[in-house]
Structure 1
């Protein structure tokens, strides 16, 4: 049942994000970007390097926090709050480079709206203890 709940939350998040991106795209006349699933779309080489540093930093800090959560019995919300910080940083940097250095600067609006959906979802999970982390 736990995995079904996680799957439903993720599915709902993706559907909501897609709906918001579709509506904003129509309202603001933003061209849809063609990109593959799990592709990296860098505006320039500097963006790629910054993104790489963020991902490596996230991975190292994430391993440390997972260890602390599992073996030092710190709350799971610590990891989820770290996840929010990473999502916000990653999306903000991507939006900045899309806005300043890409051919379609309006894509930054879609990136920030997607970030808002992710952050809202994780905040909802923490606040309402959706998966019963504390019981």
Structure 2
């Protein structure tokens, strides 16, 4: 994903707010939003925080499962691992259904439905490799 300057970020936020208000976006905007969503969904943790009942402070590591703990140690000392991100991970996408094209529909309705369905297909394709939402 590309890096944004503060001005580009502010402009992007304003465009997204306008799209949310109007419900209208072009293919470029939809592609850009899909790329941002995919980058957010596949983000790896920047570090890990560990807590247990023996220490009052937390310990941090750049690697998961730092330490050589057995399952018994984890249960006995109540060791917990918290993933730390530079930004919070995005929840899994929930997509609306495809639009059905009725017989004898007006051409503009057909074009709209085809565009909508193409957009859904592309969003699903771009997010096919995204991790599933973690259960807590």
Bigger fraction of residues in strand: 2
TM-score in terms of structure 1 length? 0.27
Higher-Rg member (1/2):
2
Q: Which has the higher contact order (CA 8 A, sep 6+)?
A: 1
TM-score in terms of structure 2 length? 0.27
